[in-house]
Amino acid sequence: MRSSVIILLCLLFAEAVAQPVADLPDDFLSKDFHRERREKLREMLPKNSVAVFFAAPVRNRSNDVNYVFHQNPDFYYLTGYREPHAVLLVFKEKQRAADGSAYDEIVFAQPRNERFEQWTGRRLGPNGVKERLGFEQVFNNFDFARYNVDFNKFDQILFFDFHNDVRDVPRDSADLYDLIEQFKAKVNYPSDKTLSIAREPEKNKLNTSDLPRMMSRLRGIKTQDEIALLRKAVDISCMGQREVMRAIRPGMSEREIQGIHEFVFKKYQAEDVGYPSIVGAGHNGCILHYEDNYRPEVSNKELILMDLGAEYRGYTADVTRTIPVSGKFSPEQKQIYELVLRAQRAAEKLGKPGVNFSDLSDVTRKVIGEGLLELGIIKDERQSRRFYPHGCCHHIGLDVHDRGEYDVLQENMVITIEPGIYIPEGSDCDPKWWNIAVRIEDDYLITKDGIERLSTLAPNTVEEIEALMKEPSPLDDFVLPELKSKKD
């Protein structure tokens, strides 16, 4: 009896002690934002349906070390919940509980556990989810297995199909692996996982095709709260670019330059990078998603391409600058750089509601094709894809390549415009162009009648870049004397 009382007191203590609010930043999205997003989704759901969302899996890095947890962006968007092993149900119509009360959403969240929290950090628990995130129906995740949700009564059950590698934690019967298995059992998920139902939802209750489209429609148009966070993420990313322009000098390593960017991100309270940082000098810049950043020394004859984005309160920027390590562009580097900038400016001029996404890409490809032909690098404009192999624009938000529709631009979309030219060594052109790689990427808000460049803090013209690179850096005192002399 005494031990039972002690256990009960411990559980009550664990449920009562949540992370102090004073320990948290005060500019996370509000519970009202997330509630309104769920209402918008509910309006889109078909009659007599339920949408099911799972938290992101915990990813193993190696042995007993996991990666820092990053929530499924759709789950965060709808809930604000930043913990694993959880399920969200959003119902189209009101449901009736056993006591007669009505509800239209349920969350199954991690329980409080004093022993686990000592190792891995505080949890909200059901009471915390109610208080801080504004849900009324919240249960421990281990209740999901026995909770009486009659999925058979719904005409459609919408969810994202299961393609992730989710590991089972044997000692936890309510981890994400078990929650998914319990859901599959409740809805008679086909054992062969072929899910032809995705193509013929009218013949089956299970619908894995419509929810991605709904979430893209929602997340592609940003609210004012989201735009404020994206502005902050973009500004922080630009400050990283500015500081590197001041601090860089021949002999630095790619990793050191990456470190300056990411130090600035942390200085301004960004939680993380939105994607693996790309810092490629010389020929490494010709690798579009170069992430090794291993090169021990950069040369004063090279350009360095830096594609980095700070993640702030879940929202990520995506800003690329290409600068000369020496502080001054060579004639060939300047010609390629200004060609890429002309292409970006041409797309900017088109940017406004009602314009097709493809029009932005087409105009950048046209400008670059004509320019490469004029420089003698190609013999036919159609060959430009050899040196400009990627698209021009994408949404940014909770993902760096965010959910959103790619038909026409709409007010309050936030997108990138990022033309580039990459000329690897051995290309069929004059060797003076070899190993020149330039990408200029800025972030834009589509306004009511035009476009606003958000990333203005990071200069992107030749003159502005060269002027900023002459300025001293507060990091100069940390540089080895022999490297400092190379800049002086």
Please check whether residue 160 is in contact with residue 56, taking contact to mean a CB–CB distance below 8 angstroms: no
Specify the pLDDT at position 485.
Answer: 61
pLDDT higher than threshold 70 for residue 421: yes
pLDDT of res. 14? 45
From CA 308, how far away is CA 240, in angstroms rounded?
9
Res 392 pLDDT > 60: yes
Q: Per CATH, which fold does 2-218 belong to?
A: Creatine Amidinohydrolase; Chain A, domain 1 (3.40.350)
Q: How confident is the model at residue 195 (pLDDT cuts 50, 70, 90)?
A: low
- pTM of this prediction? 0.92
Length of the chain: 488
Q: What is the pLDDT of residue 3?
A: 42
- The answer to whether the CB of 109 falls within 8 A of the CB of 175 is no
Start and end residues for every CATH 3.40.350.10 domain found in the chain: 2-218
H or E element: which one contains 334? helix 331-350
Percent of the chain with pLDDT over 70: 91
Bridge partner list, 312: 315
Written as one letter, the residue type at 131 is: E
Give the type of residue at 281: A
Q: How many Å apart are CA 204 and CA 404, to the nearest integer?
A: 27
- Residue spans in the chain of domains classed CATH 3.90.230.10: 221-487
Nearest to 419 by CA among 372, 466, 467: 372
Burial 381-415, CB ≥16 within 10 A → b, else e: eeebebbbeebbbbbbbbbbebbbbeeebeebbbb
What pLDDT, on a 0 to 100 scale, did the predictor assign at position 190?
Answer: 82
Q: Are 468 and 459 in contact (CB under 8 A)?
A: yes
Q: Span 221-487: which CATH code? A: 3.90.230.10
Mean predicted confidence (pLDDT) in 427-455:
98
Q: ∠179-183-184 over CA atoms, to 5°?
A: 120
Q: Are 316 and 400 in contact (CB under 8 A)?
A: yes
pLDDT confidence of residue 13? 43
- Angle separating helix axes 210-220 and 31-44, nearest 10 degrees: 130
